[in-house]
Structure 1
Amino acid sequence: MKTSTTFVLLLSLSSWACSSIEPNEDAETIFKQTKAANDSSLQGHIEKDAEKIIAVYTDDAIVLPPGGVKPIVGIDSIRKYYQQNLAGSGRSVSIKTENIRFDVSSETDATELGRYVIDYQASDTSAVTPIKGEMLIVWKKVDGQWKIYLDMWH
């Protein structure tokens, strides 16, 4: 499974690198649309609302979480993953993202590379701990809406 996950990731990255990186006239609009969708999903993390989180994913999306977790494939598996994780102790107090690069490779495909900071509060303390990392998101336009097809963070 690790080999196929690596292959999918390399294939996605190679198609990203080989795609036209020239900004097109709609890139700014597409970025605003994906950011709004992502912001809503991130708010779902703060509210511990799995349905709000997964509303931004395609039905066949793949989530690659950190920590050696196997790839999570398909909306039903992604829903279960978030429901289980949100039921755990602690909560995200705030989530901030920073875009490093956003490329539109076609009318239906875009790739986002960025950083995040999650202010996390464990259930047994009032202290808030920042968790920092990087993210890679492959966006697909499905039925007129930009949705996450591949989501990876570490």
Structure 2
Amino acid sequence: MRIILSILALSFFTVVCAQDKEVEAIKKQVKKFSNYLMTDKREEVVKMYTSDAKIFPDGTDILEDDGLSNYWNPENRSWKTTYHKVTPVEIKVIGDEAYDYGYYEGESSNGNQSSRWKGKYVIVWRKVEGEWKIYLDIWNSIKSE
């Protein structure tokens, strides 16, 4: 009986450690995403998505394929993201998929004006060739007080 309990405890510990490792990998991807936005590397932002990804920006239709690329294309954006921070509330890994939800905040500038914003998001992640990529990405704003 002791052996069985030891094996179960070891198995549980192994699963928890693996979960923690994957959560940390996703958190690194989240930081890369923010960095790419702030350094205007929009082509790198697009590469963070799976090939069949969909995005659900606030106030628009669901975008995929060229729509997703066009959304992040710097030539289509007159405002530059000068600050971007994501604060996950929960990240749950289930095999090669995960979900992540929380809050984001940032600031944009067009050279003459700046705008602060914040909102909430949900992301579904997929592990593709050993790397976590965004499959579904939905976000919407929270009105400033």
Q: What TM-score comes out, normalization by structure 1 length?
A: 0.74
Counterpart CA distance in 1 for 2:34 and 2:49 is 12
Tell me, yes or no, if the aligned pair for 1:95 and 1:116 is still in contact at 8 Å.
yes
CA RMSD of aligned residues (A): 1.8
Counterpart CA distance in 2 for 1:104 and 1:86 is 35
- Alignment of 1:72 with 2:60, yes or no, is no
Residue 99 of structure 1 aligns with an amino acid whose one-letter code is P
Tell me, yes or no, if the aligned pair for 1:48 and 1:86 is still in contact at 8 Å.
no
- Identity in percent: 25
Counterpart CA distance in 2 for 1:112 and 1:48 is 24
How much has 1:86 moved relative to structure 2?
5.3
Tell me, yes or no, if the aligned pair for 1:58 and 1:147 is still in contact at 8 Å.
yes
- Alignment of 1:117 with 2:96, yes or no, is no
Alignment match of 1:36 (pick from 28, 41, 57): 28
Higher Cα Rg, which structure: 2
Q: What TM-score comes out, normalization by structure 2 length?
A: 0.78
Which residue is 2:119 aligned to?
133
Q: Deviations over 1:36-71 (max 9, x none)?
A: 12222222211222211112100000100001x111
Which residue is 1:25 aligned to?
17
- Alignment of 1:81 with 2:67, yes or no, is no
Residue 105 of structure 2 aligns with an amino acid whose one-letter code is V
Residue 119 of structure 2 aligns with an amino acid whose one-letter code is G
